[in-house]
Structures are given as structure tokens and as C-alpha cells.
Amino acid sequence: MSEENKQEHYDASDIQVLEGLEAVRKRPGMYIGTTDVKGLHHLVWEIVDNAIDESLAGYCNNIEIIINKDNSVTVKDDGRGIPVDVHPKTKISTVETVYTVLHAGGKFGGGGYKVSGGLHGVGASVVNALSKWVEVTVYKNGKIYNIRFENGGHTKHPLEIVGECEENRTGTWVTFKPDSDIFDTDIFDYETLKVRVRELAFLNKGLRITLRDDRDEEDTTGDTFLYEGGISEYVKFINQNKTPIHEDIIHLEGIEDNVFFEVALQYNTGYNDNIYSFVNNINTHDGGTHEEGVRRALTRVINSYARKTNMLKEKDESLTGDDVKEGLTMIISCKHPNPQFEGQTKGRLGNSEVRKLADKVFSEGFEKFLLENPEEAKIIVNKAMLASRARNAAKKAREITRKSDLTTTNFFGKLSDCKSKDPKVSEIFIVEGDSAGGSAKKGRDSMTQAILPLRGKILNVEKSRLDKALSNEEIRSIITAFGTGIGDDFDLSKLRYDKIIIMTDADVDGAHIRVLLLTLFYRFFKPIVEAGHVYAAQPPLFRIMHGKTRKYVLDEPEKDAYLASLPENVRSRAEIARMKGLGEMDAEELNETTMDIEKRTLRKITVDDCVAADAMFNKLMGEEVEPRREFIEANARYVKNLDI
């Protein structure tokens, strides 16, 4: 391109454009939330969303995502190709407009379901603003078009024809390299991408999405996801290691005024529910009208069926929403041309007409299923009735627990509470065994640190309902100490500690108790885990002594690094001890290595992926033995020290 052309290309409107993209670079958080690893992956979804929109519009069947060797990412689709003609307003090609004008997306695309939970179509220009370079190739009209941007969205060269292709070939290829000046990290994580790619494939039946990591020399095929059964296959996937109580997955759908609604469900023998809802492929984690419609209809239809068949007698109280969702795996998906997302995190669907549609589609279809499958219907209703009985038993147990535990010295003899009553500065250590409990009690800062020693075994709640859990004394102590209540009366705002710290030995038994506690917290106190209150203490694994120095290290790598840092003559005389249990340390040591706020390291327990967390607890603690055996065999090679 000649100098003259370049001059022409950059006129006053370009300056405005660049100011727009500069605003994104100045405040990336406003557009993609964060600039950490999460924000980095967000860039991929902004580009993929455009391809998914094209598929929702009915023009794209295949999407390919590739992590390239240099940590750039390529997304390819076989849709219509972004329009290449000169845009009447901007006087530059539409592709360039979409990639350089903030807020362009929504204005140009007409109709269809837009993935609009995030950036309302401004995604492409935001990705451009936050990238070192972006290259877009469009296949359309028998030609191959290409445009390149550099350094945060500056057009390197405008759209040009770089070759020819078959007349009927169409599609868009985009490659971008995130700007490492903006992001804390520029390394993409394959597993993170894979989880969402699989979900997108479940949510868009018939769409093939391939993910490949070209940094991995050995794996050249990657993963391909294509589900003809859509959300039914999602339910099957979530239930894969559970025991369904009826064979067929129920799949219902309906459409009204361009709003498409579908739901798939199957009950299993477990006590937990896995209910996830989506609008235009975005997880509505706070529910909304689509979920409300289904929940209302589910409760109503089961009650009415149970009464009609006399399974529920006249004197029996009706089943509640909680009763009918026990052991339920359900995916709700709504595609809406104009969704209203509400709430602080925009995680709730607000459109009221969807409640009616969801209720209608669900109640008609589900009632039909119950009538046509009396055997299955009986099993489902029976399960809800058992859940109802357990809920009432738990209520009684809770009342007794509340009264007795608060008055008996048994509980307060056990808990050494902290003096502070301010939850913001208080923490509780849940400690395995009385001897470690004793050291912890002596070594703590009694102002802010409470100690709860566990004596007996914690019940595995993966295999029990709330009423049974409440008969376990250790669990009762934990509930009383937390102050939040449990089940129907759970209230996060009453939590008495900011940090709940699991402190167990660094051996097999310690790990077992840790998993039992995590199962309890995840199943019965999920909001506490989600709000980031749960931690695991990290007691040291080795003590290294030389001369008068005592050094504690967390693990093998840290031990090796420390030893390497010592002069040879000191290193050869150091007599390294592997720490067996917390009980081995005296109060001072325990304080110094594991409890002291200034010196300790805690591991925060977070849940990024509810489906994966559910599957893991199921696998480790559930009824089915085979998945657990497979897991242990697959992971045995990671076990370095087995001290049984």
C-alpha cells in the first residue's frame, strides 16, 4: 500500500476509534473483569461467542479452537464469514469496523440469538485492544480476505484479498496473541478451555467443536465434542458415576414468540441435586424465571400425581420444592432474542414471559411422562416422599441439637472458643485428635483463634441424608460452632468465623479426615465454601536441623532447595526428620509452623467448576466402588510417600 493510501485510511474517525480501544487498555477490568488467568481465557470466549452466534443463527456447524505454539489462539468457524463490504458509516470494511469500533457488534448483526451475557457484542474489538496482534481471515465470495492489527488494535493493513477459494466455501478464522503487558500471565490452560468447550457443545446440539493444543508435540488430535442429544447428553454426563432410578432421560422443549426453551432431567439414587440453567449458553447461576417456572411446575405435578394415585394421603402434607429435587440432575436451557439479566452479577434471568413458557412446557411434558411410565413415576414419587420424611426428621433433630448442644458442657468442653466475638477477625481450627488439639490450644492466639478437636470419625455425608448426619456428634459440634444452622435454617450471615481451617496430619488418615470434612462442607455448607471461608492448614513435612538452627519446610522441593542453599560442610551434617503428625510438635512449634498468621501458609479451598467438584466427591466418597478404584489406580503414580 502506498503512503498516499495510508494517509487516506487514517482520518478523523480513526483517531476516535483508537481512543475507544485505548479506553479498553486503560481499564481492561471494566470489559473483561480481570487481567489474571481468568481474564486471559475470557478473550477466547469473546471470539468463540461470535462463532456460536453464527451457529445459533443457523449458518455454522463446525468450530475449531487451537492453542498455538507461541500461546496465541486461533478460532475457526464455517459460518457466513464476517461481512467484507465497506461499511456505509465508517467507510472502512465491516470486518475492520467490528474489530476496531467499540460497541460495533450489536449494531451490525441483525436478529438471531446473541450471546449477550458478557460484552453485548463488543467482544471482538475488546480482544483486539488487549492483544499484541490479531489476524482475521474471511472466506467469502470465492475469495480469501485478510486483515491484521498490531499493538492494541492499530490496523497494520486494511482488509485485502490474499487469494481465492472454492465459490461455496465460507468462514471466519481469527488468531490473536494476548498482550503480556496487560495480563499477569499469557499461558492458556487446556483443561480450563476444555471444560467450557464441552459445555458449549452440550448446549448447542449438533455443533461440532474441536479443541487442540499445538504446544503439545505428542497430542496432535485434541478433543472433539459433538452431541446430537444436546442437554440430554449433559445430564447423562453428570450422572455417569451415579445410579439413575429410571432409565430414560426426560427431554422437553417448546418455542413461543422466538423464545426457545428446553429442559432435560433424570433422577438418581443420591441425595444431592445438580440443577444448572442457561440463557443463550450463559450459566444463570442465580436462576431466574426459566428456573422458577420449572421448579414450580415440578413440585405441582409431582404433588398432583401423588395425590391422584393416593400415594400421598389426604392427611399427608404436600411435598416441597426441596423434597422433589433430591437426587435430581437437570439442565435448563433457554435461547432468548432479548434476555434481561438481573442481579449484582447479572446471573438471573428476569424476563417474566419465560416463567409461563417454562411452566407450560415442563408441566405438560412431565405429567405425560408420569402417566405413561407408572413404574418410574412411582419410584420418583417414593423418593420425594422419603426426602420429605428425612427433612421432617432433620427438623426435629435440629431442634433437639440446638437446645442440648448449647446447654451441655459436652460441647463447650470441646470447643475452645476465641475471645473475640467479631467474625471478621476470628478463625476456627478443626483439628484431628485430642493430642494435636492440646498443642493447638496452647499454641494459639486465644484472642482470635478457636480450636475444635475432633474425637470420633466424621460421618461420610455423601452416603447419608441430613437427618442421619445430625445424629453424628462431631458434625453436631461443627454446626454449633459455626453458628449458621443447617438445611432449611442455614444462614451464612451468622457464620462466627471468617476462616475455617482444617488442620490434619500430613498422612493418609489426615487426608481421609480432610476429605470427609470437605464433603460435609461442600454438601451441607456449600455457601461457606463458595464464599471462600474454607482453608487447609499446611503443616510442615520436614524438619531440618543444623547447629542451633531448626528449619521447617512444606514439601520435598522446598527441602531440596533449602539443602542446596547450605554450604557443603553444613549440609552434610544436617539429620533431616520427616514429620509424622501434628501431635509430634509442641505448642510452640505448631504455632510457628502452622498457625501463626504471620508465618503460616494456608491453602484456600475454592470451587471453579461445580460439575467437576460434584463428580469428584461422588467418585471419592459415593456408593459406586468401580469409579473410585479407577481413580486410585490412575493416580497411584502420583503418590510418593505412602505411610499406612
Listed as own residue / partner, the contacts of 399-405 with beta carbons closer than 8 Å and 24 or more positions apart are 401/470, 401/476, 401/479, 401/480, 402/480, 405/476, 405/477, 405/480
Give me the 297-336 binding string for ligand 1YM, x by CB under 6 A, dash otherwise: ----------------------------------------
* Piece of the chain touching ligand 1YM by CB under 6 A; list 80-88, 205-213, 261-269, 328-336: 80-88
Is 79 a binding residue for ligand 1YM by CB under 6 A? The answer is: yes
Is 77 a binding residue for ligand 1YM by CB under 6 A? The answer is: yes
Q: Which entry of 77, 233, 323, 505 is annotated as an active-site residue?
A: 505
Residue 83 or residue 627: which is nearer to ligand 1YM going by CB?
83
Residue pair 380/390 in contact (Cβ under 8 Å)? The answer is: no
Smallest distance, Å, CB 234 to ligand 1YM? 24
Count the residues of the shown chain that bind ligand 1YM, applying the rule CB under 6 A: 19
Residue pair 337/256 in contact (Cβ under 8 Å)? The answer is: no
Cell of 519: 464433603
- 64 catalytic residue (yes or no): no
Cell of 532: 471462600
Nearest 5 degrees, angle CA 502-CA 37-CA 237? Answer: 70
Is 50 a binding residue for ligand 1YM by CB under 6 A? The answer is: yes
Residue 50 or residue 388: which is nearer to ligand 1YM going by CB?
50
Smallest distance, Å, CB 76 to ligand 1YM? 6
Is 43 a binding residue for ligand 1YM by CB under 6 A? The answer is: no
Residue pair 157/1 in contact (Cβ under 8 Å)? The answer is: yes
Q: Which residues, 82 to 101, sit near ligand 1YM by CB under 6 A?
A: 82-83, 94, 98
- 257 catalytic residue (yes or no): no
- 488 catalytic residue (yes or no): no
Q: Which amino acid appears at position 68 of this protein?
A: N
Smallest distance, Å, CB 145 to ligand 1YM? 13
Give me the 517-556 binding string for ligand 1YM, x by CB under 6 A, dash otherwise: ----------------------------------------
Residue pair 500/452 in contact (Cβ under 8 Å)? The answer is: no
CA end-to-end distance (rounded Å), the chain? 73
| R_g over Cα of the chain | 29
Q: What are phi and psi of 258, to 5 degrees?
A: 70, 5
Cell of 256: 413461543
Q: Which amino acid appears at position 409 of this protein?
A: T
* Piece of the chain touching ligand 1YM by CB under 6 A; list 104-112, 211-219, 267-275, 569-577: 104-112
Residue pair 432/582 in contact (Cβ under 8 Å)? The answer is: yes
- Strand, coil or helix: 93: strand
Is 614 a binding residue for ligand 1YM by CB under 6 A? The answer is: no
Is 54 a binding residue for ligand 1YM by CB under 6 A? The answer is: yes
- 509 catalytic residue (yes or no): yes
- Measured between alpha carbons, how far is 493 from 49 in angstroms, rounded to an integer? 37
Q: Which entry of 286, 376, 507, 624 is annotated as an active-site residue?
A: 507
Cell of 370: 408420569
* Piece of the chain touching ligand 1YM by CB under 6 A; list 76-84, 178-186, 428-436, 577-585: 76-84
Would you name the residues annotated as active-site residues? 432, 505, 507, 509
Where do contacts with ligand 1YM occur on this chain (CB under 6 A)? Answer: 47, 50-51, 54, 75, 77, 79-83, 94, 98, 105, 108-110, 172, 174
